[in-house]
């Protein structure tokens, strides 16, 4: 491909405007050529369409799409894009089910185009240094605390507590994407408790326990009802002391108290995602890791469902 990748951004909600648009503007390998949204606003000077069918009918030359829609509708849009021969960037989570992502991956492979299941938290500056430290450490326990206020981070986004909207796993899957990256061995869920508001079809909180084949204990506390200070922390106890990732991976504190990386939350993560997307598009390869999504699916399969008070925004 000669010249920058001509990209259409589909689903113009908060994350698209806050993170995707600035990251695309800063990347010389990608140019924002169109936006698509039924409700969200477009970008000044960029062609805007109501849906992907209108974009296709326009004849505008597009090389790739980035999908920022709710997960419930993402598969059908991605399939339409693949049929057009467009490379596809999937915001996390990559689909509403594992089967959807498997089907999209197979379709992309058959079409010879690139599919990217993006996990933005893996691009936080503390993640790779943490992974390097833990590669040869004896890990004794892992504790994840991911608690935030749904009213602050998802105002008016009722879909997130509907069936297929993931509920508290929408942010919680970010934690799982980090843990699956930094730990040297795969792990599996042993039990879970999921709190469902009486008026919602997705959980608002979850408490999870995992283990690996060597008996490593991993616990996670996800909650969408946190008021005041927010918590996005991963604490790893090792034979060399305690390693902590704060602020969603933005700040790493090693056992000796040193902090090799520290930056604002989300700073640089989306730039890293788009660099990676450009790499796989030019290489005509795909990057589809479903490990975080598999753990969420297992939590729904294995977890005890508890009914809690209704959620009123």
- Looking at residue 40, its pLDDT comes to 82
Residue 261, both tokens: 């990386």
Read off the pLDDT of residues 67-112 as tens digits, 9 standing for 90 and up.
999 999 999 999 999 999 999 999 999 999 999 999 999 999 999 9
Choose the CATH number for 122-262+297-308 among 1.10.10.10, 3.40.640.10, 3.30.360.10, 1.10.560.10: 3.30.360.10
Mean pLDDT, rounded, of the chain: 95
pLDDT higher than threshold 60 for residue 3: yes
pLDDT (0 to 100) of residue 261: 66
pTM: 0.93
313 vs 238: which has the higher pLDDT: 238
Give the active site residues: 92
CA atoms within a 13 Å half-sphere pointing along the CA-CB vector of 257: 0
Pick from 82, 101, 102, 81: nearest CA to 92 = 101
Q: At what angle do helices 74-83 and 98-111 cross, to 10 degrees?
A: 10
Domain locations in the chain as residue ranges: 5-117, 122-262+297-308
Task: Give the model's pLDDT for residue 265.
Answer: 54
User: Which of 28-37, 122-131, 161-170, 264-273 is predicted least confidently?
Assistant: 264-273
Percentage of the chain with pLDDT > 70? 97
- 5-117 folds as Rossmann fold (3.40.50)
Residues 6+ apart with CB under 8 A from 228: none
- What are the tokens at 131? 């992974």
Residue 267 · residue 183 · CB < 8 Å: no
Q: Which helix (H) or strand (E) holds 70?
A: none
């Amino acid at each position: 491909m000669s010249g920058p990748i001509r990209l259409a951004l589909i689903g113009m909600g908060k994350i698209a405007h806050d993170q995707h648009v600035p990251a695309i503007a800063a990347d010389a390998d990608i140019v924002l050529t169109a936006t698509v949204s039924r409700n969200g606003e477009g970008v000044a000077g960029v062609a805007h369409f109501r849906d992907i069918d209108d974009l296709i009918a326009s004849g505008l030359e597009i090389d790739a799409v980035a999908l920022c829609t709710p997960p419930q509708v993402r598969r059908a849009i991605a399939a339409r894009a693949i049929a057009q021969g467009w490379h596809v960037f999937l915001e996390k989570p990559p689909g509403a089910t594992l089967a959807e992502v498997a089907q999209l991956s197979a379709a992309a492979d058959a079409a010879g185009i690139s599919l990217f299941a993006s996990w933005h938290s893996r691009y936080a500056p503390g993640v790779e240094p943490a992974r390097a430290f833990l590669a040869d450490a004896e890990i004794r326990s892992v504790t994840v605390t991911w608690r935030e206020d749904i009213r602050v981070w998802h105002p008016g986004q009722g879909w997130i507590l509907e069936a297929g909207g993931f509920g508290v796993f929408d942010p919680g899957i970010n934690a799982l994407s980090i843990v699956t990256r930094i730990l040297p061995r795969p792990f599996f869920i042993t039990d879970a408790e999921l709190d469902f508001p009486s008026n919602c079809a997705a959980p608002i909180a979850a408490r999870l326990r995992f283990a690996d084949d060597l008996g490593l204990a991993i616990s996670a506390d996800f909650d969408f009802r946190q008021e005041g200070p927010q918590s996005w922390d991963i604490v790893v106890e090792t034979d060399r002391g305690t390693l902590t990732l704060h602020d969603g991976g933005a700040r790493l504190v090693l056992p000796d108290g040193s902090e090799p990386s520290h930056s604002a939350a989300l700073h640089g993560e989306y730039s890293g995602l788009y660099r990676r997307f450009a790499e796989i598009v030019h290489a005509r390869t795909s990057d589809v890791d479903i490990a975080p999504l598999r753990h969420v699916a297992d939590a729904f399969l294995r977890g005890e469902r508890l009914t809690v008070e209704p959620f009123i925004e």
